[in-house]
Amino acid sequence: MSIRILIADDQALVRTGFRMILDAEEDIDVVGEASDGLEAVDKVKAAKPDVVLMDIRMPGLDGIEATRRIVADTNPERPVRILVLTTFDLNEYVYEALRAGASGFLLKDVPAEQLVAGVRVVAQGDALLAPTVTRRLLEEFARAAPPSDEPPPGMDELTPRELEVLRLIARGMSNAEIAAELIVSETTVKTHVARVLMKLSVRDRIQAVVLAYETGLVAPGRRG
């Protein structure tokens, strides 16, 4: 089954470029385009994409609010994943988009193969967390948010090992890297990650990382 993509960007040239790259892939189908946030929200309902490539700065409704509305209205059994596109690698708008429910972000000048790989990763339900720039962004803007006095629901249900896994996720480590760090199998790590996401009631790894920083479980600039 093909991955259904909606491209939301106010620049027609950008949309055309992304469409050409993605349409060349046998397992990807571009099902629509939108030139602003409101159009993106409407076309998600009509076209039912798996992934939305979402620009942040658009006229009318911006990409952050559009992301928030799409995520709030998505079917949990078939969620729409948002992959944010930006011209800036460190910018508060990207962080707000992640908080709004985006599953990751890419720079607009990303090489074609990385764009395609990113779409596939997000479509599978994973988050684009590995790039160093994502970790820098989370650390930078988590500094501005003082830790909450009250732990989020589910945090006190995590076992010591699950807390350890969450800290390693927040450092941007992959399942394979976590497995090597803890000297366990990747299957065991996947089980721990799934339990962490379930107990915290978050959609994916990146939402768990935002939570880890904002609650003070992980301090910016410090390795877990």
Q: Is residue 79 part of a domain?
A: yes
Average pLDDT over the chain, rounded to an integer = 84
Tell me: do 11 and 122 sit in the same domain: yes
Tell me: do 46 and 122 sit in the same domain: yes
The number of domains in the chain is 2
Distance in angstroms (rounded) separating the CA atoms of residues 152 and 200 = 8
**Which structure tokens are listed for 97?**
């988009």
Tell me: do 19 and 90 sit in the same domain: yes
Beta bridge partners of 107: 86
Tell me: do 28 and 96 sit in the same domain: yes
Q: Is residue 22 part of a domain?
A: yes
pLDDT of residue 224: 44
User: Each residue of 130-143: pLDDT tens digit?
Assistant: 455 556 666 665 66
Tell me: do 37 and 101 sit in the same domain: yes
Q: Whole-model pTM?
A: 0.72
Distance in angstroms (rounded) separating the CA atoms of residues 198 and 150 = 19
Q: What is the CATH number of the domain that holds 56?
A: 3.40.50.2300
Q: Is residue 223 part of a domain?
A: no
Tell me: do 95 and 122 sit in the same domain: yes
Neighbouring residues of 46: CB distance < 8 A, sequence distance ≥ 6: 32
Q: Cα angle vertex 163, ends 158, 164, to 5°?
A: 150
pLDDT of residue 130: 45
Q: What is the CATH number of the domain that holds 168?
A: 1.10.10.10
Tell me: do 176 and 124 sit in the same domain: no
Domain encompassing residue 165: 147-214
Which residue, of 128, 159, 190, is where some domain finishes? Answer: 128
Q: Is residue 104 part of a domain?
A: yes
pLDDT of residue 124: 81
Tell me: do 115 and 38 sit in the same domain: yes
Neighbouring residues of 135: CB distance < 8 A, sequence distance ≥ 6: 129, 171, 172
User: Each residue of 170-195: pLDDT tens digit?
Assistant: 877 778 889 999 999 999 999 999 99
Tell me: do 12 and 77 sit in the same domain: yes
Q: Is residue 133 part of a domain?
A: no
Tell me: do 36 and 104 sit in the same domain: yes
Q: Is residue 38 part of a domain?
A: yes
Q: Is residue 86 part of a domain?
A: yes
- CA torsion sign for 31, 25, 119, 135 is negative
Cβ atoms of residues 84 and 64 within 8 Å: no
Q: Is residue 117 part of a domain?
A: yes
Tell me: do 116 and 168 sit in the same domain: no
Q: Long-range contacts of range 170-175, CB-CB < 8 Å, 24 or more positions apart?
A: 170/138, 170/208, 170/209, 170/212, 170/213, 170/217, 170/218, 170/224, 171/135, 171/218, 171/223, 171/224, 172/129, 172/130, 172/131, 172/132, 172/134, 172/135, 174/130
Give pLDDT tens digits along the chain (224 positions): 799 999 999 999 999 999 999 999 999 999 999 999 999 999 999 999 999 999 988 988 999 999 999 998 887 778 899 998 887 655 667 778 778 888 888 888 889 998 998 899 888 876 665 455 556 666 665 666 555 667 778 888 999 999 999 988 887 777 888 999 999 999 999 999 999 999 998 877 877 887 887 777 776 654 44
Q: How far apart, in Å, are the Cα atoms of 111 and each of 18, 115, 118?
A: 11, 6, 11
